[in-house]
Amino acid sequence: MTTVKDMLAAYPADLGGIDRDRLARCVEECLACAQACTACADACLSEGMVGELTKCIRTDMDCADICETTAAVLSRHTGYDAHVTRAILTACATACKACADECATHADMHEHCRLCAQACRSCEQACNDLVQALG
């Protein structure tokens, strides 16, 4: 079991009809994506052609912030509001798609961009899966 799953299992109240596996996967993907985006932005800053990576750096940083916030919102269950959850998941999926698309344009030259695009696509899918599971 992961820490995310352990924390969900330890929650003292009912989580309602939410799919715990999809919820845990989404939180984990958001955290992994935030880390990948932060590392990619930093790696971009170390490239000799940093000026050409400005949009990538900005997109990485925005995506990392949104993923971290999404993981935090998904980790709180008391006073749950499905409308807020759907909105943040949709925003996160949108940010992840934008970041993945931007990083993909640099993936042939920079391995960190390829890895980041992969993490973003995985997080986008997890967010979309959870939105669908919420109904």
> Which string of DSSP letters, residue by residue, matches 38-81?
HHHHHHHHHSTTGGGGHHHHHHHHHHHHHHHHHHHHHT--TT--
Longest dimension (CA), the chain: 52
105-118 mean pLDDT? 97
pLDDT tops 70 at residue 1: no
Establish if 97 belongs to a structural domain: yes
Q: Quote the pLDDT of residue 18.
A: 87
Ranking 11-20, 25-34, 46-55, 95-104 by mean pLDDT, the lowest is: 11-20
Q: Quote the pLDDT of residue 2.
A: 84
Question: DSSP state, 13?
Answer: S
Q: Quote the pLDDT of residue 130.
A: 96
Structural domain including 72 reads 19-134
Establish if 86 belongs to a structural domain: yes
Average pLDDT over the chain reads: 95
Establish if 71 belongs to a structural domain: yes
Query: Tokens 């992961």 appear where?
Result: 2
Establish if 82 belongs to a structural domain: yes
Q: Is the dihedral of CA 45, 110, 39, 132 positive or negative?
A: positive
Establish if 8 belongs to a structural domain: no
- Dist CA 61 CA 77 (whole Å): 27
Establish if 13 belongs to a structural domain: no
Count how many domains the chain has: 1
The values of phi and psi at residue 87, to 5°, are -65, -45
Q: CATH number of the domain that 112 lies in?
A: 1.20.1270.360
2-9 mean pLDDT? 91
Q: Quote the pLDDT of residue 106.
A: 96
Q: Which residues, other chains included, contact 47 with Cβ-Cβ below 8 Å and sequence gap of 6+?
A: 53, 110
Establish if 7 belongs to a structural domain: no
pLDDT tops 70 at residue 12: yes
7-20 mean pLDDT? 87
